[in-house]
Amino acid sequence: MSEAEPMSSSPAKPDDKYEEPSGADKKKSAEGRVIQSVDRALKLIELIAGKDRPILLNELARAADLNLSTCHHLVATLVTRGYVIHAGRSRGYMLSSKLADLAALASREFDLCEFVRDELQELNVNLRESVQLAVLRDSILMTRLKFGSLMPTHVEPDEVRKMRAAHATATGKAILAWLPETELARVVSNSGLTPFTAKTITSLSALIEELRIVRRSGFSVDEEELEPNVICYGAALRDGSGAVLGSISVSIPKSRATTEYRAHMIRAVIECARRLSNRLRVGQF
260/256 Cα distance (integer angstroms): 10
pTM (2 d.p.): 0.64
Q: Is the same domain home to 73 and 104?
A: no
Q: Is the same domain home to 110 and 238?
A: yes
Per-residue model confidence as pLDDT tens digits over 135-144: 998 889 999 9
Q: How confident is the model at residue 259 (pLDDT cuts 50, 70, 90)?
A: very high
Let me know if residue 174 belongs to a domain.
yes
Residues 25-40: what's their mean pLDDT?
Answer: 67
Using CA atoms, how far residue 63 sits from 43, 59, 91, in Å, is: 10, 6, 17
The one-letter amino acid code at 215 reads R
Q: How many domains does the chain have?
A: 2
Of 96, 127, 158, the one marking the end of a domain is 96
Cβ pair 197, 227 in contact under 8 A: yes
Can you give the CATH number for the domain in which 163 is found? 3.30.450.40
Q: In 10 A of CB 248, how many CB atoms?
A: 26
Of 78, 96, 114, the one marking the end of a domain is 96
Share of the chain above pLDDT 90, in %: 64
- What pLDDT sits at residue 112? 87
Residue 267 has pLDDT above 60, yes or no: yes
Q: Is the same domain home to 32 and 107?
A: no
Alpha-carbon torsion 136, 142, 144, 149, what sign?
A: positive
Residue 244 has pLDDT above 60, yes or no: yes
Alpha-carbon torsion 142, 148, 151, 152, what sign?
A: positive
DSSP string, 178-246: TS-HHHHHHHHHHH----SSTTS--SHHHHHHHHHHHHHHS-EEEESSSSTTEEEEEEEEE-TTS-EEE
Name the nearest CA neighbour of 64 among 33, 205, 56. 56
Residues 185-203: what's their mean pLDDT?
Answer: 95
